[in-house]
Amino acid sequence: MADFRAWRKATASTGASSNCVEVSGSLEGLVAVRDSKSRHTGHFEVSTACWRGLVADLKASRLER
């Protein structure tokens, strides 16, 4: 089981927006994602490569809403 300690919230999710996620990396090459309002419900894990691909696609507006 991966060890996730330092959870970070995106700077874009501060302020009035209540739709926030937090992410944390591990030494095992995984990224965990959780809902900042429902931390007790757990998180899901993806590989670092998968996370980087998702972030790149979001930044390039390649994903539909």
DSSP-derived 3-state class of residue 6: coil
How far, in Å, CA of 22 to CA of 10, rounded? 7
* 1 is a domain residue: no
Task: Name residue 35's beta-bridge partners.
Answer: 21
**pLDDT (0 to 100) of residue 36:** 86
Q: What is the domain count for the chain?
A: 1
Q: What is the pLDDT of residues 35-65, one digit of tens each?
A: 888 888 999 999 999 999 998 998 898 887 6
Q: For residue 46, how far is the Cα from the chain centroid?
A: 9
Is the distance from CB of 3 to CB of 27 less than 8 angstroms? Answer: yes
- Indicate if the pLDDT at residue 19 is higher than 80: no
For the residues 17-26, what does the mean pLDDT come to? Answer: 82
**pLDDT (0 to 100) of residue 47:** 95
The dihedral built from the CA positions of residue 39, 34, 36 and 49, taken in this order, carries a sign that is: positive
Task: Name residue 47's beta-bridge partners.
Answer: 30
* 2 is a domain residue: no
Residue 48 sits in which domain range?
A: 22-65
* 41 is a domain residue: yes
